[in-house]
Structure 1
Amino acid sequence: MIINFSPSFIGPQFIKIKGVLVSVDSPVLFIIFNRLETTKRVLTAIKRAKPKRLYIASDGGRNETEKGLVDDIREYVISEIGWDCNVKTLFREENWGCGQNVSDSISWFFNEEEQGIILEDDCVPSDSFFEFCDELLLKYKYDTRICQINGNNFGLTDFVLSEWDYHFCHYPQAWGWASWRRAWKDYSLLVSPDRIPRNINSYKHLGWKKSDIKLQIHNWVRAGRSLDTWDYQWQYINQIQGNLAVVPKRNLISNIGDIGTHFSSNDKRTFHLKAEEMNMPLKHPEFILIDSLIGRSYKKRMIKNSIKNRIVRFIGVSNFEFGKKLLGRG
């Protein structure tokens, strides 16, 4: 297919047949594990987008029963690829754990591709998400101020009436996103707690309250010591450098993974938000400016600077351990 470009349009053009997106240009990394039903819903969206290059990564099961489930899900995903597509897989025999598996899978992806889209098995994208990422991956490919394109905006409606289709903040969010090799090269899973600056003044560029900064430092230190995660480290390297993430005007990702490896939540402000569509082509901001409203919204929902977490930070235990202590079950 020959794609024509108009002088006023930056990025790829798309063809829709009866509302169905036909072929996304950017490669997609799909990270799967042991949740068949959520995997099906994300895969359905990927099938509509028809990426030309699809990377599939899967951690190994932790026991014989889970290994069988993991194998079944791998076979299901491969069997559902019915469009013209180059597929590469990274299927582990052993269980590496969330932090090491996901971060290594992303590194594998960016060793193969200069830029691309990352979706885990519980982040269901709208069709517009792929178009949004495609266009902005090209637009900001060489702008080192931008580290990531977020798909999730937590249903923030305050700037729906904005004339621009996206804004910027200091919070790279991991629920459906896109980035570049040039940004990921600075990532390290192993963040030494001793190297994390404790001086509040080191974070003035973020424009956060001191209490928020202290809690985020606490999260980074936990990740460096014992927490089996990868995204705190990604936030750390970008926030300490003052890098920016693109945030869509409308929410483009629905996270349906509120029952997952690390947590269970019924917070409707965060999970199961509607994945919306956007009009294309995008209306780009005239300037790259930080939107403090988005930053406050993200902090409220993800950093969760609550009284409980302040106590958690003080006594130095995880939320789960704190809950047990509070209930007298520790």
Structure 2
Amino acid sequence: MSENLAPVVLFVYNRPEHTQYTINALKKNRLAAKTDLFIFCDAPKNPEDTDKVKQVRNIINNVNGFKNISIQYAHSNKGLASSVIKGVSEIINIYGKVIVLEDDLITSSFFLKYMNEALNIYANNEKIWSISGYTPNIKFPTTYEEDVYMTSRGCSWGWATWKERWNSIDWEIESYYTFIKSRKKKKMFNEGGNDLTYMLKDQIFKRIDSWAIRWVYNQFIQDKYTIYPTKSLVNNIGTDASGTHSSSTQKYDVYLCEEKLVLSESLAVNSEIKKSFKKFYDLNLIGYIGVFSRKFGIYLLLKKLRKQLKI
């Protein structure tokens, strides 16, 4: 592999234990010592977060094991969406490509190798929007022999992309009102899961502040695809309801793949995988309750209740 490795950008905030696990796993990657690491740490949103943020900053102040380490501390709270948009933009415009993690993602020791190889292989394929290190637990056809597959939905749990794709994003979603009037377009968008249009609507009406749904929507309107591994190289440990947008569920838990994956340059969307992927992300009863609770302003109350009841 060429030594032109992509930098890793890590976003952290107020979860010291998650942050430590994330960094420890990343350090075990075979290319860690050759990789530049950029860490962006947000400032406390309220006085209750001050101590946890201080603990996180103590952890990242002592990070080692990477080629170069750069840390940026926010002086006021930006929120996750603003932090990601600004942080990724800053680094990707210097390096041309980037690998992105948040503070609750445990990576396989093959994660960086897979991501860098995929960034190199698919760089000139204009149909590829991003690379995902995570894959949900979906059913694959017994005849499917590839180690990667394509879908129309990006993933924010350990991902990578290139400067040209990132800089083409309309973060204001100016086409929303044309899109929302089209039943055909909404159906096509929801081929990645029927939660997508609900999340986009929540974003438009400021019930959530998500960079990821805007990112996925831009992928859709540009008719591009994300590469996923058939075996996950990322596990999200933030599904304990500790994060900004996380919820408590074991649905997303996966076993980490600790072996090299073979990347195919010639891929097509597999209809059976597409169906299984959509089924995984389609809303269940809890999901619909979440949609309506955000609409009526009681989401945070229900999230707190679920955390207490551990459901």
Q: Which residue of 1 aligns with 2:98?
A: 116
Asked if the contact 1:167–1:248 (Cα under 8 Å) also holds between the matched residues in 2, the reply is: yes
Provide the aligned C-alpha RMSD in A: 3.2
Quote the offset at 1:276 in angstroms.
1.4
Q: Which residue of 1 aligns with 2:309?
A: none
Quote the offset at 1:161 in angstroms.
6.7
Determine the C-alpha separation between the residues in 2 that align with 1:118 and 1:95: 20
* Letter in structure 1 aligned against 2:156: A
Quote the offset at 1:299 in angstroms.
3.2
Q: 1:131 to 1:262 in 2, by over 3 A?
A: same
Choose the corresponding residue for 2:19, options 39, 58, 62. Answer: 39
Asked if the contact 1:312–1:319 (Cα under 8 Å) also holds between the matched residues in 2, the reply is: no
Q: CA offsets per residue over residues 158-185 of structure 1, 9 Å max, x none?
A: 2587321101111101111111111111
Quote the offset at 1:322 in angstroms.
9.7
Taking only the aligned residue pairs, the percentage that are identical comes to 22
Quote the offset at 1:312 in angstroms.
4.3
Q: 1:264 to 1:185 in 2, by over 3 A?
A: closer
1:222 aligns with 2:205: no
Quote the offset at 1:310 in angstroms.
8.5
Quote the offset at 1:81 in angstroms.
1.2
SS in 2 for 1:251: coil
Higher Rg: 1
Q: Which residue of 2 aligns with 1:304?
A: 283
Q: CA offsets per residue over residues 93-144 of structure 1, 9 Å max, x none?
A: 1011122222222222212221121110001110122111111100111211
Asked if the contact 1:103–1:189 (Cα under 8 Å) also holds between the matched residues in 2, the reply is: no
Q: 1:39 to 1:161 in 2, by over 3 A?
A: farther
Asked if the contact 2:200–2:214 (Cα under 8 Å) also holds between the matched residues in 1, the reply is: yes
Q: 1:200 to 1:116 in 2, by over 3 A?
A: same
Quote the offset at 1:156 in angstroms.
2.7
Q: Which residue of 1 aligns with 2:77?
A: 95
Choose the corresponding residue for 2:133, options 140, 151, 173. Answer: 151
Choose the corresponding residue for 1:256, options 237, 257, 266. Answer: 237
Determine the C-alpha separation between the residues in 1 that align with 2:177 and 2:202: 12
* Letter in structure 2 aligned against 1:320: Y
Q: 1:104 to 1:295 in 2, by over 3 A?
A: farther
* Letter in structure 2 aligned against 1:162: Y
Q: Which residue of 1 aligns with 2:62?
A: 79
Determine the C-alpha separation between the residues in 1 that align with 2:271 and 2:170: 27
Q: Which residue of 2 aligns with 1:170?
A: 152
Determine the C-alpha separation between the residues in 2 that align with 1:312 and 1:35: 26
Quote the offset at 1:44 in angstroms.
0.9
Question: Which moved further from structure 2: 67-76 or 108-117?
Answer: 67-76
* Letter in structure 1 aligned against 2:150: F
Q: Which residue of 2 aligns with 1:53?
A: 36
Query: Which consecutive unaligned segments of at least 5 residues does structure 1 have?
Result: 1-10, 14-23
1:234 aligns with 2:215: yes
* Letter in structure 2 aligned against 1:99: A
Equivalent residues in 2 for 1:250-329, closer than 5 Å = 250-258=231-239, 259-262=241-244, 265-270=247-252, 272-280=253-261, 282-284=262-264, 287-304=266-283, 306=285, 309=288, 312=291, 316-317=295-296, 320=299
User: Runs of 4+ in structure 1 displaced over 6 angstroms?
Assistant: none
Quote the offset at 1:62 in angstroms.
1.4
Determine the C-alpha separation between the residues in 2 that align with 1:307 and 1:67: 32
Q: Which residue of 2 aligns with 1:180?
A: 162
* Letter in structure 1 aligned against 2:60: V
SS in 1 for 2:26: helix
* Letter in structure 2 aligned against 1:229: S
Q: Which residue of 2 aligns with 1:244?
A: 225
Length-normalised TM-score, structure 2: 0.83
Length-normalised TM-score, structure 1: 0.79
Determine the C-alpha separation between the residues in 2 that align with 1:159 and 1:278: 21
Aligned residues: 299
Query: Which consecutive unaligned segments of at least 5 residues does structure 2 have?
Result: 307-311
SS in 1 for 2:61: helix
Quote the offset at 1:263 in angstroms.
5.0
